């Protein structure tokens, strides 16, 4: 008969095996790669740090460094997070980069969205830290990877958030296992693992670091504020769904992976369609694109994805493409004399050459010349 104390150990082994399997199946990283961990000090990223250290010890990764970005949004609590991450890095023997960014000041000076600014600053710092790590450890930059601590819980929360507000093509895959951000390969090795399992994994470690209050990870009090959309979904929607299906994370993750497989296939076909039917209007994507009339002959789902791709190129990777903009472009295909204005002050027009998507200023300048 197994002793009761063996159950936590088995659970910890299951977490490690799940992460190891996710990395292998998704071709995230091997011993030929050096990895920068983005660590906030919360339970998910703290678990990621321990797991990554274990992966290096097992010969699965070539090297590690950590990055902590202090957004200076929560006063002493933010400083406490930084101190905890510093202790964690020292305990694990992992080089640590710390970056202080006054996000609130940037919001005041630019008028931008706080979450978008914070994200942009994090990944800008991550690229610089990864470049430095690769140089120091003797790896080419192409061998560098950034690991984030997004979990199955985060993915499920995204799924429900998008269910409420709507989403575009492929949106219900919720999160990609890896993506190219700021020219870096960003991987999410915890995407098949639940937060409760990760916390149990931390609790099994006798050498686990504790903060000044004795906690094994840092809690962000704003995560409990249900006036915030994600917190509302996390604390109100997901628990009710789990009452109906206690294995919600497992079943919904499997569903999202099926959606992701189909999304990858359609995305590849849409890219081929763009290469075949769409021509840039200038050296910069911001100058716009011309879609040949033949685009309208493709199946509607591919046309929708192709237009989404073109608008993303024109407006930038961080732009949230509105469904109304996509539909406005589709409505113009084949409609001679069609002209409309969409997000980003883009003009959409159609003539015998095809569908033209360009800045409104360029459209007006052409009209004047004509």
pLDDT of residue 111: 85
Residues 188-203: what's their mean pLDDT?
96
Confidence of residue 61 (pLDDT cuts 50, 70, 90): very high
CATH number for the segment(s) 6-150+188-244: 3.40.50.620
What is the predicted pLDDT for the residue at 2?
40
Query: What is the pLDDT at residue 10?
Result: 66
Side by side, the strands of the sheet bearing 289-291 are 278-280, 289-291, 354-359, 346-351, 339-342
Is pLDDT above 90 for 186? yes
Residue 343 burial by Cβ neighbours in a 10 Å radius (0-12, 13-18, 19+): middle
What is the percent of the chain with per-residue pLDDT over 70, rounded to a whole number?
A: 97
Residue 69 CB partners (closer than 8 Å, separation 6+): 38, 40, 98, 99, 100, 101, 121, 122, 125
State which H helix or E strand residue 80 sits in.
helix 76-92
| 107/127 Cα distance (integer angstroms) | 22
Span 51-76, average pLDDT: 94
46-55, 63-72, 105-114, 287-296 — which is least confidently predicted? 105-114
> In DSSP terms, which residues pair with 359 in a beta bridge?
346
Residue 40 annotated as binding site? yes
**Mind listing the pLDDT tens digit for each residue in 217-261?**
999 877 777 778 999 999 999 999 999 999 999 999 999 999 999
User: Could you give the CA distance from residue 152 to residue 158 in angstroms, rounded to a whole number?
Assistant: 10
| pLDDT band of 73, cuts 50, 70, 90 | confident
Cα separation, 280 vs 310, in Å, equals 9
Buried/exposed 295-331: b ≥16 CB within 10 Å, e otherwise: bbebeeebbbbbbbbbbbbbbeeeeebeeebbebbbe
Global pTM reads: 0.87
pLDDT average, residue stretch 128-147: 97
Give the pLDDT of residue 307: 97
Mean confidence (pLDDT) of the chain: 93
Average pLDDT over residues 153-174: 92
DSSP for 162-208? HHHH---TTGGG-S-SEEEETTEEEE-TTTTS-HHHHHHHHHT-TT-
Tokens of 311: 């608008």
In this structure, are residues 326 and 304 in contact, taking their beta carbons and an 8 Å threshold?
yes
Q: Consult the annotation and say whether 332 binds a ligand.
A: no
pLDDT at 7 over 80: no
Is position 43 annotated in a ligand binding site? yes
Spell out the domain ranges in the chain.
6-150+188-244, 260-369
- Checking if the pLDDT of 317 tops 90, the result is no
Confirm or deny that 86 is annotated as ligand binding. Answer: no
The answer to whether residues 47 and 37 touch, using CB atoms and an 8 Å cutoff, is: no
* Residue corresponding to tokens 């406005």: 328
Provide mean pLDDT across the span 111-138.
93
pLDDT at 1: 37
Q: Is 42 annotated as a binding residue?
A: yes
Is it the case that residue 278 has pLDDT exceeding 70?
Answer: yes
Question: Is 323 labelled as part of a ligand binding site?
Answer: no
The answer to whether residue 309 scores a pLDDT higher than 80 is: yes
């Amino acid at each position: 008969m197994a002793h009761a104390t063996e159950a936590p150990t088995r659970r910890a082994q299951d977490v490690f095996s799940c992460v190891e399997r996710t990395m292998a199946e998704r071709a995230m990283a091997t011993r030929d790669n050096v990895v920068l961990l983005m660590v906030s000090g919360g339970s998910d990223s703290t678990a990621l740090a321990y797991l990554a250290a274990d992966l290096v010890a097992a010969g699965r990764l070539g090297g590690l460094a950590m990055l902590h970005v202090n957004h200076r949004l929560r006063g002493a609590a933010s400083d406490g997070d930084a101190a905890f991450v510093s202790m964690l890095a020292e305990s694990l023997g992992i080089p640590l980069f710390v970056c202080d960014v006054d996000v609130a000041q940037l919001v005041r000076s630019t008028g931008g969205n706080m979450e978008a600014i914070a994200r942009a600053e994090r990944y800008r710092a991550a690229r610089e830290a990864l470049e430095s790590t690769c140089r120091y450890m003797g790896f080419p930059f192409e061998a560098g990877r950034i690991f984030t601590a997004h979990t199955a819980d985060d993915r499920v929360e995204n799924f429900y958030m998008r269910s409420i507000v709507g989403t575009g093509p492929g949106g219900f895959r919720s999160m990609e296992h890896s993506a190219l951000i700021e020219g870096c390969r960003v991987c999410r090795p915890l995407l098949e693992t639940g937060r409760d399992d990760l916390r149990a994994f931390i609790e099994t470690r006798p050498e686990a670091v504790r903060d000044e209050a004795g906690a094994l990870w840092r809690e962000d009090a704003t995560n409990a504020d249900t006036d915030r959309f994600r917190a509302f979904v996390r604390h109100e929607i997901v628990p009710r769904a789990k009452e109906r299906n206690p294995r919600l994370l497992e079943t919904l993750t499997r569903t999202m992976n099926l959606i992701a497989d189909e999304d990858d296939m359609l995305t590849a076909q849409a890219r081929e369609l763009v290469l075949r039917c769409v021509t840039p209007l200038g050296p910069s994507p911001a100058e716009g694109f011309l879609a040949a009339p033949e685009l309208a002959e493709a199946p509607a789902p591919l046309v929708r994805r192709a237009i989404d791709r073109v608008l993303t190129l024109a407006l930038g990777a961080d732009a949230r493409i509105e469904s109304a903009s996509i539909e406005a472009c589709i409505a113009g295909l084949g409609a001679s004399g069609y002209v409309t204005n969409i997000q980003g002050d883009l003009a959409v027009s159609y003539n015998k050459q095809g569908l033209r998507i360009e800045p409104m200023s360029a459209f007006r300048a052409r009209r004047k010349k004509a």
